[in-house]
Amino acid sequence: MDLKDRKDLNPFKRWLLSCGFALEGLRFTWKGEPNFKIHISILILVTIAGFFFGIARWEWVTLLICFAFILTLELINTALETLVNWIADKQWHPLAKITKDVAAGAVLVGAIIVAGIGLIIFVPYIWQYFLG
Ligand SMILES: Nc1ncnc2c1ncn2[C@@H]1O[C@H](COP(=O)(O)OP(=O)(O)OP(=O)(O)O)[C@@H](O)[C@H]1O
């Protein structure tokens, strides 16, 4: 279906189609980015730990914001990497390097901050579980 055909669809069908494209983006990232799989695995482990320790409602909200933050960063990083690969077309270019490195830096900064938040939430529970 080309762009012109899509304009003739009703808004609900267009919205459904857009959701399908978004899922394709998620599938592409899942297949091509090992980091995305690592982040999803950590997310699952943290969720299990949250239920195990019975963390508070505000701590769940904080964790959900962290999950959204880190996964969104990873997805934007993948989009930028793909765009750079397309534009650079296998040629080395200093601006391609800066774009990729800055995007990777954003994921790193986000991951460090989120790891810090995770420690603030879970260390007291772990402490109490083993020593309390
Ligand atoms: N076209 C390019 N020009 C200059 N430097 C590049 C280019 N492509 C990649 N680089 C540099 O090499 C590093 C590794 O790039 P590479 O593409 O292997 O991994 P990546 O950034 O994780 O992207 P991908 O997931 O597409 O493999 C980048 O962070 C960047 O510093």
User: Is residue 124 domain-resident?
Assistant: yes
Confirm whether 59 is a catalytic residue.
no
| pLDDT value at residue 1 | 61
Q: How many domains does the chain have?
A: 1
Range of the domain at 107: 10-131
User: Is residue 44 domain-resident?
Assistant: yes
User: Is residue 119 domain-resident?
Assistant: yes
User: Is residue 112 domain-resident?
Assistant: yes
User: Is residue 110 domain-resident?
Assistant: yes
Give the residues of the chain that fall short of pLDDT 70.
Answer: 1-4
| pLDDT value at residue 36 | 96
Residues placed in the known binding site for substrate: 14, 27-30, 74
User: Is residue 5 domain-resident?
Assistant: no
User: Is residue 1 domain-resident?
Assistant: no
CATH number at 127 reads 1.10.287.3610
CA of 82 to the centre of ligand 1 (A): 10
Dihedral class, residue 90 (left if φ above 0, else alpha if ψ from -120 to 50, else beta)? left
Instruction: Give the largest Cα separation in the chain, rounded.
Output: 65
Interface confidence, given as ipTM, is 0.91
Q: Is residue 83 within 6 Å of ligand 1 at its C-beta? A: no
